[in-house]
Structure 1
Amino acid sequence: VILGYLRKFHLDEIDALIPESVFQLPFPHEGKTFWNNECTVEYTDDVIFDIYFTNPTIFFDYVRKGVSALKKEKGSASSAWMYLQIKLIEDRPYDLSEIKPHMVNTPVCFDAVVLGLEPRTMYIKTAWYECPKGHPGIDIQCDKHRQLHPQVCTHSLGIDACGEKMFLNVDKSTQDYSQNIVIQEPIENTKFGNPIEYDAKITGGMVGDVRVSQKMRMSAVLRTVIDRKKNENEIYYDILSYKDLADSKEVLPTEEEIAIMKKDVEESDFMLKLIKSFAPEVYGLDSVKESLILGLAGGVRSRNKRGSVNILLLGDPSTAKSTLLKECAEVITKSLYTSGKSASAAGLTAAAVKRPNGAWMIMPGVVVLCNDGFVFIDEIDKATPEDRSSLHEAMEQQTVSIAKAGMHMTFPARTAVFAAGNPQTGKWELSLSAAENVNLPPTLLSRFDVKWRILDKKDFSRDTNMAEHILSQFTDPAEETFSKDYLRKYFAYINKLKPKLTKEAQKELLNTYRKLRDMSKDQESVVIDTRQLEGLIRLSTAHAKCYFHETIVEADVVHAVKVYYESLKSFGFDPEEGTVDQSTFFTSAKLNKETTFWNAFTALDDEAKGGVDAEELMVKLSSTPHYDEESARQEVEKKHSKENKIYMSKTGRYMRV
């Protein structure tokens, strides 16, 4: 029957096959008719479906025998055809969440991501049973669950049959590989942010080809394992074939929509409109929003240098950090929003997980699953020490390595990380460094290209405007210039652009780097290093992509540097005035306050006027995050009266001792 089906519908494809090919066989469900090979009985292709449904493993063997027979007729007889790889094709894949109980034992097609692999095993595919009395043996195929059942010798002895229990001869039986895997619904297909997981089994040539975090279109049969002792049955998917899916399901703009976007970017206030459309419910924070937009645009990966931009939001609670991260997740298709303290058993990166059957399995975390995408981690300060340690490798080398339970694996992790963290004490302590406030190691902080400190400062005018903005969201919310759908398509499109760095832009980057390095020499502190220079290149690239530029020009660099300077100012640095000391990220406070004081004193020192004006010094200090008006006045008095490090000159101005 199968030979007649192949001869009628697939003869041309089979003629073109070579032993190394993959035979793409469509699901037979179109109601077409054909004759068996002897042309004695007519069938519809439903009978092929029934054979396939009864035992898929045997079905593939029959197909290989049919291909071998047709090839032999063409003069291409070879035993290699019995090992031909076959993949079923289905043009109408389901979402895993759409597969219902009534579809048990029915072939289905769906997209899934491989979460984990157990060690491979072997099963007996065709068993050879022998009679202890020497009667002829028999071949028995395993059932659909790959189980064997005891056999009794039916050899006739006159009126009665032999009846002896036959024994299995393993040496004469045929075995094949089998492997248990865990699959998950792709992130972009999930509903309500909760991807569904299932156990699955693969056999034969698929074992060894499947890798963790691989996205595939699978043809499978939903199976149940009946347990007579309880009224609950375990389920799994019996994978029959698969096709690797390299690209995620992205919603790209049409040609007409691209033309509209290109017209939009030509407007002088395009970036301002983009900022106003991004998380419009959040009042202010325009510079923070702009850096997030540049981060979503991303850079360009080259050689061993990452193209993704990593951004960190730190500061007091209730300053819209989580809202901004969720907004990012809503406009990026391949992304996942998670919390440092509520990640899966695999954590943020990867972990060895013990399965219910006792086997150990290495499973990837969200950073690996979002490879070539984005992960948004709220409350990163609550992540486990193991996760924070493994993020070092993921954020710089773009890989995640794990060696546990006798297993070693390395996953690709070309993932952009946007994170937010709150201070340990619930309020940002100006007397502590950033590392101490959020309990993050300095080495991890240095992996972020852009860092922001968002403080909840009392300001009557600003507080009033913010309250009015919040109230307006409940009565008359402002209309967005660009819709969420527009932003999704916009970012999906510009992420594929690859503008090139011009010599003009290189010169501007070099000048900026030299300027900041010169400040490092003056203050005996590191203002910028090569990692931050690479971050500026990525931000410049992102700005060029936002405007659909084919090259990165000086204006892109100037804008990227401006955003970078604004992020530094949020921590009390001012690169334009030379008051920059990035040690405040890592060292604690006395030194930071001391440095801030002398930086301000030096900036205001005027030899012609005979020193520093007291009022100007207190205003300068209170404008920094380390001092308010009262603490600035107390610091000046302490330096003058107690420490005797400054004195009052005859002109009424302070001078350094």
Structure 2
Amino acid sequence: MDDDGEQYVYDEEPVVDHELERRRERGVTPAQARMKFVDFLRNFRSAPDAAAPDGRFTYRDALDQTTAPKDLKVCFDDLIAHDGELARELRIRPNEYLPILEEAVEDVLESLRPTERTLDIGGALNEEEEDRNARSTAPRATVQVKLTSKEIPRPLRSLSSSDVGTLVYVPGIVIATSKARTKAKHMTLECKTCSNRITVDVAAGYSGVNVPRHCNASASRGTQVGQEANPCGTDPFRIVPEKSVFIDQQNIKLQENPECVQAGEMPRNMSALIERTMVLSVVPGTRVKIMGVYETTSGGGSKRERGGGKVAVRHGYLRVIGIDEESEGARGDAHFSDAEHTEFKTFANRPFKEMLKDLRARIAPAIFGSDDIKAAVACLLFSGTRKHHPDGTTRRGDVNVLLLGDPSTAKSQFLKFVERTAPVCVYTSGKGSSAAGLTASVIRGADNEFYLEGGAMVLADGGCVCIDEFDKMRDEDRVAIHEAMEQQTISIAKAGITTMLNSRTAVLAAANPPSGRYDDLKTAQENIDLQTTILSRFDMIFIVRDAREYERDMQIADHVLNIHAGGGDELALVSDPVQEKERQFLKRYIEYARAVCRPRLSERAMKMLEDSYVRYREEMRERKRTGGHAAVPITVRQLEAIIRISESLAKMCLQTVVTEEHVQEALRLFEVSTIDAARSGVADMVVLSAEQREELQVVETQIKQKLAIGATMSKRHVIDDLARIGVNEWAVTRALLVMTQRGDIQERAEGRRVTRMH
């Protein structure tokens, strides 16, 4: 123990060369591994097919190209099938065997294309080339090997200290990326005094290199002639960039997939380092499966931790060897067995009406009724077909749905069901969400660099976003998702970072009217207090009302009581195999349909859609001509909405062509949702009795006496003045609405003031 009270730790065991002992016990030595890797790359054949009955030389053909490739993808499963012992050594000691694999790739390349040396007439090397070969000591860059795998990845949170230094395969989502930087792989140093050159190899990952403090060549010369031992002085070396080999590096942050995080748990994240050709290949929001080496680096502890024989705390990170990006159509486990193929095709091979009824029954079975909303949620889960045009533009295939109406109508329960069922889903609340939290943000990391971090709509790329309390969002936050909902991209220009992120996600939103309940005394514009720009981006808008009907109330009460009566035994619910099987079947069927089915419109379906769109536009035009105002505009976006709904209905049946039957159901859903919301207004409200009409005429006369032609007055002031003489407030409000509908009165200042026009 020293004077400061610190205790030194000494190794009492004798020094043993454990690496030498391991090499003796190891079945595959590095020299043998190089030959085995060469044999694998030259002779491995793929599975036989019709074009190649004996299989193809997978990796030899990939290397035997006119131009040498910069990288080579090697499937780890192929190596296991070729030589299991070699694959085991590569998995356990990747830092030792990966460079050997890249050297084997170079050997195969040289055997396929032998290098020819330039000779002069006398047979000697060209003087210029000879000088170049004599002066250059840095090795040339090698082909990068990218490892991929078809095995089931392990969770990110399962990595532990026992995995350090081994090859791991983990899934995740990229939530942040840094700027690319340059690192030396082979550094050439030159003495400033004697021009002696040496080459120093730099370890992979975050490792650096220690530059020698003294020039060995000059030191040995000085000793021979009896001069001073170090004539070149201390720190004589400088870097020769043109003779060194550099590679690109980039930091990314990998986070667990949202659907893999248990309730109440914070999602785990880990830093990852990508190099060479993989740099700038992924953006935030990309779902990936990474094959990498689990390594550790110092956390930048204090000087007390770094020296004096102390063991510093190490932080784990992944040095990426290969990246597999998940396909856009399917998320999660996109591999299906033969039994699942047969089961899904049998399920879809039924009449359309029966199929749709079965799927509706599986959507939120705990919610009574709401068959049309359940069908719309099914369309949202299956989605339409995303189109890529030759000019580079795209058309979204995701279906956006808005549920607006009274409280206690199970709007939030639909959102929670979608969160549990969708392969990829992010649930958020409008009140607690900001524009940066929904789209993307730029943050400054611990290394003082700016990182681009994706929000909810970026993390849900390829799935759906559930936004509850949509009406409670601030207007500037709601405007921020306009681009994400239609173009399905998020443009970022912050802190010198200008880029574009993908947000190919469907939106399921739930909102309440401004007064909390849907008020029949108000127009649709007042009840749907959202801007036209955001409403036009929803494919289906449902006005959900809590109708007070005796028969319906009795049915809902029986349904709720039965649910509560059967929900007392938690063990019975958890162990219910039928319910759990149906839930898993629906989730897998959605993944299967999104992965394998891409429906297209037929000629007759296109004709039906064209006629319906023209009819809707004519109806809205006539409505505007008579003084009415549609709460939801009918534009070309609504035509595309019907197309997407038709495609999703065809995808439910695993059909590749949209038929007239699918279009008819899509038009019916569009009628009961968006068209009903657009038609709602004073004229379509409760039918007035004779006494109510007479009362309204009397009130209209009093309003005209109070308000002269061309005069403007506060609406609240008009209601209060007539209330003093005994006029019912309900009658005044209804009369003002009717007069506004006819055009006798025009509202100003967002409906707070009224001006008499006639």
Q: Same fold (TM over 0.5)?
A: yes
**Distance change (3 Å), C-alpha of 1:613 and 1:434:** closer
Structure 2: how far apart are the matches of 1:467 and 1:631? 35
Which residue of structure 2 aligns with residue 87 of structure 1? 146
Deviates more, 1:308-317 or 1:538-547: 538-547
Secondary structure of the 2:452 match is strand
Structure 1: how far apart are the matches of 2:660 and 2:385? 17
Give per-residue Cα distances to partners, 1:592-622, cap 9 Å, x unaligned. Answer: 54x557x968xxxxxxxxxx9558999xxxx
Which residue of structure 2 aligns with residue 257 of structure 1? 343
Q: Aligned runs of 1:606-625 on 2, under 5 Å?
A: none
Q: Aligned runs of 1:266-415 on 2, under 5 Å?
A: 266=351, 269-302=354-387, 303=389, 304-342=394-432, 346-383=436-473, 385-415=475-505
The answer to whether the Cα contact below 8 Å between 2:189 and 2:240 also exists between their aligned partners in 1 is: no
| Paired amino acid for 2:544 | I
Which residue of structure 2 aligns with residue 5 of structure 1? 33
Select the residue among 467, 477, 489 that pairs with 2:557: 467
Structure 2: how far apart are the matches of 1:504 and 1:31? 51
| Paired amino acid for 2:146 | K
Structure 2: how far apart are the matches of 1:559 and 1:480? 28
**Distance change (3 Å), C-alpha of 1:334 and 1:136:** same
Structure 2: how far apart are the matches of 1:639 and 1:380? 29
* Counterpart check, 1:142 vs 2:213: no
**Shift of the alpha carbon at 1:322?**
1.5
Structure 1: how far apart are the matches of 2:256 and 2:647? 33
* Counterpart check, 1:182 vs 2:282: no
**Distance change (3 Å), C-alpha of 1:131 and 1:384:** farther
**Shift of the alpha carbon at 1:261?**
0.5
Give per-residue Cα distances to partners, 1:53-78, cap 9 Å, x unaligned. Answer: 36x8xx53x54444434544565238
Give per-residue Cα distances to partners, 1:150-177, cap 9 Å, x unaligned. Answer: 5233544369964954344122544322
**Shift of the alpha carbon at 1:448?**
0.2
* Counterpart check, 1:492 vs 2:591: yes
The root-mean-square deviation of aligned C-alpha atoms, in Å, is 4.3
**Distance change (3 Å), C-alpha of 1:169 and 1:204:** farther
Structure 2: how far apart are the matches of 1:475 and 1:127? 74
The answer to whether the Cα contact below 8 Å between 2:250 and 2:280 also exists between their aligned partners in 1 is: no
Tell me the TM-score normalized by structure 1.
0.77
**Shift of the alpha carbon at 1:391?**
1.7
* Counterpart check, 1:77 vs 2:176: no
Structure 1 segments unaligned to the other structure (5+ residues): 35-42, 574-579, 582-591, 602-611, 619-629, 646-656
The answer to whether the Cα contact below 8 Å between 1:220 and 1:238 also exists between their aligned partners in 2 is: yes
Which residue of structure 2 aligns with residue 204 of structure 1? 276
**Distance change (3 Å), C-alpha of 1:259 and 1:133:** closer
| Paired amino acid for 1:13 | L
Structure 2: how far apart are the matches of 1:344 and 1:400? 15
Tell me the TM-score normalized by structure 2.
0.67
Select the residue among 321, 346, 350 that pairs with 1:240: 321
**Shift of the alpha carbon at 1:257?**
0.7
Which residue of structure 1 aligns with residue 9 of structure 2? none
* Counterpart check, 1:556 vs 2:627: no
Which residue of structure 1 aligns with residue 17 of structure 2? none
The answer to whether the Cα contact below 8 Å between 1:88 and 1:219 also exists between their aligned partners in 2 is: yes
Which residue of structure 2 aligns with residue 509 of structure 1? 609
**Distance change (3 Å), C-alpha of 1:262 and 1:616:** farther
Select the residue among 435, 440, 443 that pairs with 2:533: 443
Structure 1: how far apart are the matches of 2:737 and 2:90? 95
**Shift of the alpha carbon at 1:189?**
4.5
Q: Aligned runs of 1:12-23 on 2, under 5 Å?
A: 13-14=41-42, 15-16=60-61, 17-18=63-64, 19-20=68-69, 22-23=71-72
**Shift of the alpha carbon at 1:210?**
3.4
Which residue of structure 2 aligns with residue 224 of structure 1? 296
**Shift of the alpha carbon at 1:451?**
0.7
Secondary structure of the 2:480 match is helix
Structure 2: how far apart are the matches of 1:26 and 1:516? 55
**Distance change (3 Å), C-alpha of 1:453 and 1:13:** same
Structure 2: how far apart are the matches of 1:366 and 1:30? 39
| Paired amino acid for 1:222 | Y
Secondary structure of the 2:200 match is strand
Secondary structure of the 1:483 match is helix
Deviates more, 1:277-286 or 1:70-79: 70-79
The answer to whether the Cα contact below 8 Å between 1:132 and 1:166 also exists between their aligned partners in 2 is: no
**Shift of the alpha carbon at 1:359?**
1.6
**Distance change (3 Å), C-alpha of 1:493 and 1:44:** closer
- Residue identity over aligned pairs, in percent, reads 26
The answer to whether the Cα contact below 8 Å between 1:379 and 1:420 also exists between their aligned partners in 2 is: yes
**Shift of the alpha carbon at 1:536?**
1.8
Structure 2: how far apart are the matches of 1:404 and 1:492? 36
Which residue of structure 1 aligns with residue 717 of structure 2? none
Give per-residue Cα distances to partners, 1:561-607, cap 9 Å, x unaligned. Answer: 22222225764x6xxxxxx25xxxxxxxxxx54x557x968xxxxxx
The answer to whether the Cα contact below 8 Å between 1:124 and 1:146 also exists between their aligned partners in 2 is: no
The answer to whether the Cα contact below 8 Å between 1:225 and 1:234 also exists between their aligned partners in 2 is: yes
* Counterpart check, 1:171 vs 2:225: no
Structure 1: how far apart are the matches of 2:661 and 2:103? 66
Structure 2: how far apart are the matches of 1:441 and 1:98? 46
Which residue of structure 1 aligns with residue 124 of structure 2? none
**Distance change (3 Å), C-alpha of 1:10 and 1:632:** farther
Secondary structure of the 1:347 match is helix
Question: Which one has a bigger Cα radius of gyration?
Answer: 2
Structure 2: how far apart are the matches of 1:445 and 1:176? 49
Deviates more, 1:532-541 or 1:429-438: 429-438
Select the residue among 156, 166, 169 that pairs with 1:96: 156
The answer to whether the Cα contact below 8 Å between 1:435 and 1:441 also exists between their aligned partners in 2 is: no
Select the residue among 505, 512, 529 that pairs with 1:422: 512
The answer to whether the Cα contact below 8 Å between 2:285 and 2:459 also exists between their aligned partners in 1 is: yes
Deviates more, 1:398-407 or 1:240-249: 240-249
The answer to whether the Cα contact below 8 Å between 1:220 and 1:237 also exists between their aligned partners in 2 is: yes
Secondary structure of the 1:282 match is coil
Structure 2: how far apart are the matches of 1:640 and 1:5? 85
Secondary structure of the 1:250 match is coil
**Shift of the alpha carbon at 1:548?**
4.2
